[in-house]
Chain A
């Protein structure tokens, strides 16, 4: 398939791998920020091609995984209300809240619908004027323009029966929080290509300078990731800490400015709790005051819900790169994709699910614990 196969070429992948082997002289720990990258790394077995000195740590970049329990509980509470059509992207449906998940709410009679675009939720609101249509707006900067557009259009159409449960998160504050942690082992980052497609990468040079870490904006195909790792190792080996763009076919330094303007208009930066990590200041987006009428938390009176994370799930440590999924005592036993304890086992982008799905036969191998 055009634009895909050329980035999955086995011979070129081997060439990149050989070059990484050739230049690596020391152990390096690199974090891929985005869950999509984690998924590709494990699916294609990219880490198996790397020298033993390189450790990849799977970062907090899966929007499903970092959505805190209390937001899921709010979603469940709203979705169970009569007269509500609750809409969501597909992979949020299976994420367990404190007691249940959205698919189970649907099974008990809740009107829960999977949609592919937030604008479909606006359409549903127009078609169902006697119902309250709620969209579960989660994701990083990548999905924010689409959710912002939905709110913007609902406002233009003066829809009174559309609202959004917003749990958007931002990448740069998460990187900052990780780097400022005393336990941090990360020496370099593969930044999330699609986040940067929207936001550009002007926010990163100060982070690279402050913590002396190379940051390479990287795509999602096997050759992108190998190329990103090569660029990162080149910097590490030569003690540089710069921001580079591997994913130039999609990312411009300044990003997508009309998308950014829309995000700024509809959303405001707020503190946000991350599942397993805790609250990170200025790390989320909520609806701006001008769009408060579309805030589902206010509309349905669920804003004050507070829930603690379960103790036997180490998703927090995994999202911070302090543990690998198979180092969790519950991995593959108490916790599987069918019965997930935490969100990292639910989403196909979650590190635990990726390991379970593609790796559980080799988790005893040293290849994973190198």
Chain B
């Protein structure tokens, strides 16, 4: 018999059942096996390994940040990522938007009966790897199994706690007239990647999701002493929603230049074809930063040094304290409102 081959990918722990059954959420032996062999094995760390009803840990002195998000993306695996890595990146990114260093995550799984065990294992491995890259530990969790047809394969919720180790007040109300508006990279990749696979659109090239952690470039901005006023993750609703939310919270008018907003050519083409606006499309590894005017250029240069934000660009300014409004100057030089999308983005007929 030859020696077992070395396998760099995640071998699925031996399971009696190839699919998740209702009993895996029933509190008995099967559930115990699932927790031990899948989650326990992948996420192992001293806090989780204590196997208690609640995780216990000491926290550093100072301010904490906390956030929660649920992940229901379909399909579970998509070009550039999967629901597992997204569930880590998304929550760690929300913490980063306070300039917080992520410490601990909880994760809740809602699994539809019949999900292949191999699929669950791939997702869990992806979460483990993403958590390692982000320097965050998964310290507690929950698993529920729902009847076939009552879920969409797999839903994940993650809650994150992070520590704020700076003295800036990074919130929308810190935004002031004159502040520079910077995006951390090209927009719309995640939304178009998902739409392309979900709707079976065949584009010439595969658009990959931008799902990635953005903690490092944010840390670099703060470390360099950039006067960061506000940060916002550009997820659903895209840049348009983020800017409108901040304009409303801060009571300011924001003006951006359409030409300055980076959008990759393939994403632009897909959006044009479907009648969508890249400024409305979702991202999973992009943020908008409001920084003091005098720091704008330096901030962009710092962001450009990190792979995840190498396409960062200054796109506009906070104009004045005024009734909340976001305007965008078009390619031909005229101004218009940049509104939040209403409801789902629907492709146009013609």
What residues make up the interface of A, taking CB atoms closer than 8 Å to B? 1, 4-5, 8-10, 13-14, 36, 42-46, 48-49, 63-64, 89-94, 103, 114, 116, 120, 138-140, 142-143, 194, 222, 336-338, 347-349, 356-361
Q: Are B330's CB and A44's CB within 8 A?
A: yes
- A358 vs B328: C-alpha distance in the bound complex, in angstroms? 9
State how many angstroms separate the Cβ of B205 from the closest Cβ of chain A: 13
* A91 near B347: Cβ-Cβ < 8 Å: yes
Smallest Cβ-Cβ distance to B346: which chain A residue: A90
**Can you pick out 24 interface pairs between chain A and chain B where the beta carbons lie within 8 Å of each other?**
A9-B332, A10-B332, A42-B336, A43-B330, A45-B334, A48-B335, A63-B350, A91-B349, A93-B346, A94-B343, A94-B346, A103-B343, A114-B199, A114-B346, A114-B347, A116-B199, A120-B200, A139-B349, A222-B332, A348-B346, A349-B348, A356-B339, A357-B337, A358-B337
Please state if A116 and B332 are interface contacts (CB–CB under 8 Å).
Answer: no
Check A1/B269 contact, CB under 8 A, given A49-B334, A359-B337. yes
Whether B272 lies near A361 (C-beta < 8 A) is: no
Q: How many A-B residue pairs have CB under 8 A?
A: 106
Q: Given the complex of chains A and B, what is the CA–CA distance between A127 and B201 in angstroms?
A: 18
Contact B348 A90 (CB under 8 A): yes
B contact residues around A114 at 8 Å (CB): 199, 346-347
Q: Is B342 on the interface with A (CB-CB < 8 A)?
A: yes
Complex Cα spacing A62 to B84, Å:
42
Cross-chain contact A194 with B334 (CB below 8 angstroms): no
Least distance between B324 CB and chain A CB atoms (Å): 11
* A160 nearest CB across to chain B (Å): 25
Whether a CB of chain A sits under 8 angstroms from the CB of B275 is yes
Nearest CB of A to B242, in Å: 17
- From B336, which residue of chain A is reached at the shortest CB distance? A358
Chain B binding surface SS class = loop
Q: List B residues at the A interface (Cβ < 8 Å).
A: 199-201, 265, 268-269, 272, 274-275, 325, 327, 330-337, 339, 342-344, 346-350
Expressed in whole angstroms, the Cα–Cα distance for A140 and B334 within the complex equals 30
Residues of chain B lying within 8 A (CB to CB) of residue A142: 350
| Closest residue of A by beta carbon distance from B327 | A361
Query: Are B350 and A139 neighbours in the complex by a CB distance under 8 Å?
Result: yes
Contact of B331 among A10, A48, A349 (CB under 8 A): A10
Q: Is the CB of A116 within 8 A of B337?
A: no
Residues of B within 8 A of A90 (CB): 346-349
Taking a contact as CB atoms under 8 Å apart, the answer to whether B334 and A48 are in contact is yes
In the assembled complex, which residues on chain B have CB atoms less than 8 Å from the CB atom of A337? 342-343
Name the residue of chain B whose CB is nearest to the CB of A354: B336
A44-B331, A222-B331 known; A116+B339 contact, CB < 8 A:
no
In-complex Cβ contact of B333 among A10, A116, A139 (8 A): A10
**A194: which B residues are within 8 A, CB to CB?**
350
> Which residues from chain A contact B335 at a C-beta distance below 8 Å?
45, 48
- Hey, which chain A residues are within 8 Å of B343, CB to CB? 94, 103, 337-338
Nearest neighbor of A140 in chain B, beta-carbon distance: B350
Residues of A within 8 A of B330 (CB): 43-45, 222
Please pick, from A44, A120, A359, the residue contacting B332 in the complex, using a CB distance under 8 A: A44
**Which residues of chain B are within 8 angstroms of A222 by Cβ–Cβ distance?**
330-332
| Cross-chain contact of A361 among B275, B332, B337 (Cβ < 8 A) | B337
Q: Known contacts being A45-B332, A48-B334, is A143 close to B350, with CB within 8 Å?
A: yes
Shortest distance between the CB of A48 and any CB in chain B (Å): 4
A336 nearest CB neighbor, chain B only: B342
A92 pairs with B349, CB closer than 8 A: yes
Q: Kindly name the residue among A45, A94, A336 whose own CB sees the greatest number of chain B CB atoms within 10 A.
A: A45
- In the complex formed, the residue of A with least CB distance to B330 is A44
Measured CA separation A94–B348 after assembly (Å) = 12
Inter-chain CA distance A139–B274, complex, in Å, is 16
Are B342 and A338 touching (Cβ within 8 A)? yes
Partner of A360, one of B275, B337, B350: B337
Q: Nearest chain-B residue to A353 (Cβ)?
A: B342
How far, in Å, is A8 (CB) from chain B's closest CB?
Answer: 4
Residue among B199, B200, B346, B350 with the highest chain A CB neighbour number at 10 A: B350
Contact across chains for B346 and A91 when beta carbons are under 8 A apart:
yes
Neighbouring A residues of B201 by C-beta, 8 Å: 116
Residues of the A chain whose Cβ atoms lie less than 8 Å from the Cβ of B336:
42-45, 358-359
| Closest-CB distance, B213 to chain A (whole angstroms) | 30
Q: How far is the CB of B249 from chain A (nearest CB, A)?
A: 19
Contacts of B333 in A (CB 8 A): 10, 13-14, 45, 49
Could you tell me the distance between the alpha carbons of A359 and B265 in the complex, rounded to whole angstroms?
28
B325 touches A361 (CB 8 A): yes
Cα of A357 to Cα of B347 in the assembled complex, Å: 16
Contacts of B331 in A (CB 8 A): 5, 8-10, 13, 44, 222
Known: A13-B332, A46-B334, A361-B325. A36 touches B268 (CB 8 A): no
Q: What 6 pairs across the A-B complex have the smallest Cβ distances?
A: A45-B334, A90-B346, A358-B336, A13-B332, A337-B342, A90-B347
A68 CB → nearest B CB, Å:
16
Q: How far is the CB of B287 from chain A (nearest CB, A)?
A: 25
Given A337-B342, A338-B343, A361-B337, are A143 and B349 neighbors across the interface (CB < 8 Å)? yes
Which residue from chain A places its CB closest to the CB of B335 in the assembled complex? A45
User: 6 extra interchain contacts, Cβ-Cβ under 8 A, other than A36-B348, A44-B336, A90-B347?
Assistant: A1-B268, A89-B349, A91-B346, A92-B349, A194-B350, A358-B337
Complex Cα distance, B336 from A140, in Å, reads 28
Residue of B nearest to A61 (CB): B350
Give every chain B residue within 8 A of A358 (Cβ-Cβ): 336-337, 339
Residues of chain B within 8 A (CB-CB) of A356 are 339
Please, which residues of chain B bring their CB within 8 A of the CB of A361? 325, 327, 337
B348 near A91 with CB under 8 A, answer yes
The answer to whether B350 touches A46 (Cβ under 8 A) is: no
Q: Which residues of B contact A94 (CB under 8 A)?
A: 343, 346
Shortest CB–CB separation between residue B333 and chain A, in angstroms?
A: 5
A142 to B348, CA, bound (A): 13
Q: How far, in angstroms, from A194 to B201 measured CA to CA in the complex?
A: 22
Please state if A49 and B332 are interface contacts (CB–CB under 8 Å).
Answer: yes
Q: How far is the CA of A357 from the CA of B343 in the complex (A)?
A: 13
